[in-house]
Amino acid sequence: MHSSSTTASLPADIVVGPVRWLHLTRIATEKAETYGDPAADPRFVIVKAPLSIRGTRSVTLSVPPEERDTVGLDYRRTDGYPTRRTPRDGDGAETFQTRCGHDPTYYAGGFVVTPGRCVKIDVLVADRPTALHGVVSFGAGACRGAPS
């Protein structure tokens, strides 16, 4: 699911290359009950994290293999209801395309994650030989490599 607009990044956004997660830094110090909805498996939460991509035709988000037991991507859901029980039920990678004439392009979705963790996310940009690396704190406070 996607939409388009032209808004500038805010201090609460997490930006990794052309990817921007809206207001995601706010959850670094919050409890799971305030930033996520319970997943079907109570050990995990579903976190809504809309994102935008700008300035490139495609971007792939990838969860490093060592993170797959703690985080999964959940951007393909179209029915509005959580369908993921665990991070392994989520996607390990997801590719996003900008819509012709819409820069940035916005996508709804998020993560299924173990709360209280710092999570690495790789961002592979079209025509770029190496991945960019980001870190998101899901209620774990400040994380090494995460925006403050």
Distance from first CA to last CA of the chain, Å, rounded? 29
CA atoms in the 13 A half-sphere facing the CB of 1? 13
Sign of dihedral through CA atoms 126, 16, 46, 66? positive
Q: Where are the chain's structural domains?
A: 14-138
Structure confidence at residue 55 (pLDDT): 86
Determine the Cα–Cα distance for residues 133 and 146; give it in Å rounded to an integer. 10
User: What proportion of the chain, given as a percentage, has pLDDT over 70?
Assistant: 86
Neighbours of 84 (CB within 10 A): 22
In this structure, the number of other CB atoms found within 10 A of the CB of residue 147 comes to 18
**Class of domain 14-138 (CATH, top level):** mainly beta
Mean confidence (pLDDT) of the chain: 85
Task: Measure the CA–CA gap between 121 and 133, rounded to whole angstroms.
Answer: 6
Mean pLDDT of 72-101: 80
* pLDDT score, position 79: 58
Please compute the mean of the pLDDT values over residues 126-132 and round it to a whole number. 90
Comparing 4 with 101, which gets the higher pLDDT? 101
Structure confidence at residue 4 (pLDDT): 33
What number of other Cβ atoms are within 10 A of residue 27's Cβ? 24
Instruction: Collapse the DSSP code of 61 into the 3-class scheme (helix H, G, I; strand E, B; otherwise coil) and give the result.
Output: strand
pLDDT tens digits, 18-35: 999 998 998 999 988 888
CA separation for the pair 24, 9 (Å, rounded): 12
Mean pLDDT calculated for residue range 102-124: 92
pLDDT band, very low/low/confident/very high, at 63 (cuts 50, 70, 90): very high
* Integer Cα distance of 118 and 34 in angstroms: 17
pLDDT given for residue 102 in this prediction: 80
